[in-house]
């Protein structure tokens, strides 16, 4: 709506200036007619992130997901990109993760491989030694199924369900929800809602606050527009 108004308002203003119209019908402020009911995803503070990671690491139930949580907090990957990763995408020697696709589940429960969200989403993501070790642990602990499922020509996904199918974003969103609930059941100081996207937002915010060049951060986040990257952390 903002884009359409941006095109129509100057066109109708020309008509007003030429006395064809008395008033510009698109001269209104969008905020006056459209209520912004979007929910802002807030990044965690560094202290919150450390406490949550420690909790997951030490918890008897959720410790098996520690590497995943650590990776999402320290790479800024979209969860669909993470779900789409295969063993071949992880170059431990050079500490590079190849991101050129994402895994999605359609409404009819069909699994499909799709291109990254934007053309800029295709990238070679350098990772730290700690993140590389997390990937190594995941690969070493991965139970090889009797038959590797193939989704649109891709196979060797990092995490599989009981049927041997790769996990999708919804699985991880549910697990994050359960982890946060367990944390808040134990500790008096509550943890805010944490989702895989909050991990991504937190990574972006932390890198910006550490002084990373915005163009570099734009590449790492896979954003096609640097304005998107700047807006992601400008509120924090």
From CA 21, how far away is CA 14, in angstroms rounded?
A: 9
From CA 181, how far away is CA 204, in angstroms rounded?
A: 25
Cα dihedral: 218, 221, 223, 228 (round 10): -80
> Which residues make Cβ contacts (< 8 Å) with residue 59, sequence separation at least 6?
179, 182
Q: Active site includes 200?
A: yes
pLDDT of residue 169: 96
Out of 117, 123, 149, 175, the active site residue is: 117
Token readout for 50 is 């450390």
> Which residues make Cβ contacts (< 8 Å) with residue 230, sequence separation at least 6?
214
pLDDT of residue 3: 80
CATH fold group of domain 46-234: hpI Integrase; Chain A (1.10.443)
Adjacent-strand bridge partners of 154 = 151
pLDDT of residue 32: 58
Out of 101, 105, 200, 201, the active site residue is: 200
pLDDT of residue 166: 96
Q: What are the residue ranges of CATH 1.10.443.10 in the chain? A: 46-234
pLDDT of residue 30: 66
Out of 65, 154, 203, 233, the active site residue is: 233
Output the CA angle 125-114-202, nearest 5 degrees. 45
Q: Active site includes 154?
A: no
pLDDT tens per residue across all 236 residues of the chain? 778 878 888 888 888 888 888 888 888 776 655 555 544 557 999 999 999 999 999 999 999 999 999 999 999 999 999 999 999 999 999 999 999 999 999 999 999 999 998 888 899 999 999 999 999 999 999 988 889 999 999 999 999 999 999 999 999 999 999 999 999 999 999 999 999 999 999 999 999 999 999 899 999 999 876 555 555 544 43
pLDDT of residue 235: 41
pLDDT of residue 186: 96
């Amino acid at each position: 709506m903002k884009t359409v108004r941006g095109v129509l308002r100057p066109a109708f203003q020309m008509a007003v200036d030429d006395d064809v119209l008395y008033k510009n019908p698109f001269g209104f402020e969008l905020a006056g007619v459209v209520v912004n009911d979007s929910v802002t995803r807030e990044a965690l503070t560094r202290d919150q992130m450390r406490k949550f990671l420690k909790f997951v690491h030490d918890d008897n139930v959720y410790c098996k997901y520690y590497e995943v949580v650590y990776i999402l907090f320290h790479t800024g990957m979209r969860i669909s990109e993470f779900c789409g990763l295969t063993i071949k995408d992880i170059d431990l020697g050079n500490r590079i993760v190849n991101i050129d696709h994402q895994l999605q589940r359609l409404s009819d429960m069909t699994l499909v491989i799709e291109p990254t969200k934007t053309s800029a989403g295709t990238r070679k993501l350098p990772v730290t030694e700690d993140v590389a070790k997390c990937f190594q642990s995941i690969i070493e602990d991965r139970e090889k199924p009797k038959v590797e499922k193939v989704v649109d020509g891709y196979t060797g996904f990092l995490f599989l369900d009981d049927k041997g199918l790769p996990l999708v974003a919804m699985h991880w969103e549910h697990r994050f929800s359960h982890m946060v609930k367990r944390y808040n059941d134990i500790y008096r100081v509550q943890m805010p809602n944490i989702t895989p996207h909050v991990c991504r937002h937190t990574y972006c915010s932390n890198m910006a606050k550490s002084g990373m060049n915005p163009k570099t951060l734009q590449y790492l986040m896979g954003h096609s527009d640097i304005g998107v990257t700047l807006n992601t952390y400008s509120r924090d």
